[in-house]
Amino acid sequence: MSVFTPVTAESLSDWLGGYAIGRLVEHQGISAGVQNTNFFVTTTLGRYVLTLFESIPRAELPYYLYLMAHLAHHGLPVPAPVADRNNEYLGTLSDKPAALVARLSGRSVMEPTAQHCAKVGAMLAGLHLAGQSYGRRQENPRGAHWRTRTAARVRPHLDASGRELLDAELAFQAQQRYDALPRGAIHADLFRDNVLWDGDYIGGVIDFYFAGNDALLFDVAVTANDWCTEPDGSFDPDRSQALLAAYHAERPFTRAELDAWQPMLRAAALRFWLSRAEDFHLPKPGEMVLVKNPDEYQDILRLRIAHGCPMPPGS
Ligand SMILES: Nc1ncnc2c1ncn2[C@@H]1O[C@H](COP(=O)(O)OP(=O)(O)O)[C@@H](O)[C@H]1O
Ligand SMILES: N[C@@H](CCOP(=O)(O)O)C(=O)O
């Protein structure tokens, strides 16, 4: 269970005294998630999610909280952060940086159809369009610099074929020129478990704590690699075309994006192979409870290299 830091009812009741959302009714640890400690919090006035940030530096947190506020302000189903009575989103609880956000309705769908993928593609384009007017800047925390650093740390723990793949892919990615791609605020982790469905509608897009400024196409590639794949990692053409066509209808891909699509799918696969391999081989003591399988993304990377990938429409 991913509750790294306990919170007592007494300390939470005291802390909620700094807000205007009524009295604590109950709080319950959330088992999903790998990064932060989360609780569902019910007060006499509403339902919220409390997050205690376990590893993200405090100075980086306003970027995420204000981004969620910005996107919610633009009408997207993103958890709006709750300001305290001093008008601050970020506080401290159990000696950790802490924030409350609105609890959104719905459940994750782990076996999505082409219809789900179309909705996710359109939603992602909406996030990118609304994000263009977001004033804060913060680099993607899992961008190119992180990739180089993490590859060096993880490499000694891989077997020979893993090392060969990693070296070749790093060399390939170093040759790519992504500079001409449209950039902006990206979610960067829009996996199935980060979208809550309320019937046929997206009730919530959650977990913005890997967001940052980067190529918008990277976000599309991360999303397609998760939402449109079969259990063996290969693409389901119906789902990938549905996602890409719906995205393209809201924010048409540029020529540079069409040209960069296949290398970008590989960059997105490499990112999750590396983070999972780091969590698996180099766990931080007492921190990581749920560790996702790195081989899944090593396989996806091999598949993206071996096979032509469906291209976005208009190419
Ligand atoms: N705003 C929210 N509304 C409803 N449920 C949420 C919300 N935020 C988180 N959750 C629930 O908590 C779980 C873990 O949250 P997540 O942000 O993925 O954790 P982590 O940051 O540790 O990865 C989600 O799978 C979801 O069930
Ligand atoms: N989506 C990532 C892990 C991040 O976990 P989350 O619970 O914060 O979405 C992966 O699958 O490796």
Q: What is the reported pLDDT for 35?
A: 76
List pocket residues of ligand 2, CB cut-off 6 Å.
33-35, 189, 191, 193-194, 207, 272, 275-276, 292
Ligand 2 atom closest to Cα of 226?
Answer: 11
194 Cα nearest atom in ligand 1? 18
How many whole angstroms from 86 Cα to the centroid of ligand 2?
A: 33
Q: How far is the CA of 90 from the centre of ligand 2 (A)?
A: 23
What CATH number labels 114-306? 3.90.1200.10
78 close to ligand 1 (CB < 6 Angstrom): no
> Considering only CA atoms, which residue is closest to atom 27 of ligand 1?
32
Q: Which part of the chain has CATH 3.90.1200.10?
A: 114-306
Q: What is the pTM of this model?
A: 0.95
Indicate where the chain has its CATH 3.30.200.20 domain(s).
9-102
Check pocket membership of 129 for ligand 1, CB cut-off 6 A.
Answer: no
Partners of 100 in beta bridges: 50
Q: Report the nearest atom of ligand 1 relative to the CA of 102.
A: 1
- CA angle at residue 219 from 218 to 221, to 5 degrees? 65
- Probe residue for ligand 1, chosen from 194, 207, 272, 291 as the CB with the greatest number of ligand atoms within 8 Å: 207
Residue 33 CA, ligand 1 centroid: distance in Å:
6
9-102 maps to which CATH number?
Answer: 3.30.200.20
- Cβ count within 10 A of residue 197: 19
Q: What is the pLDDT along the chain (315 residues), one digit of tens a residue?
A: 466 899 999 999 999 999 999 999 999 999 876 678 999 999 999 999 999 999 899 999 999 999 999 999 999 999 999 999 999 999 999 999 999 999 999 999 999 999 999 999 999 999 999 999 999 999 999 999 999 999 999 999 999 999 999 999 999 999 999 999 999 999 999 999 999 999 999 999 999 999 999 999 999 999 999 999 999 999 999 999 999 999 999 999 999 999 999 999 999 999 999 999 999 999 876 555 578 999 999 999 999 999 867 776 665
- What are the counts of helices (DSSP H) followed by strands (DSSP E) for the chain? 9, 9
Confirm whether the ipTM is greater than 0.95: no
* Long-range contacts of the stretch 137-141 (C-beta < 8 A, 24+): 137/63, 137/213, 138/60, 138/63, 138/211, 138/212, 138/213, 139/212, 139/213, 139/214, 140/186, 140/188, 140/210, 140/211, 140/212, 140/213, 140/214, 140/218, 141/60, 141/210, 141/212
Q: Which ligand is nearest to the CA of 99?
A: 1
What's the 91 CA to ligand 2 centre distance in angstroms?
24
Q: Which atom of ligand 2 lies nearest, measured to the CA of 36?
A: 8
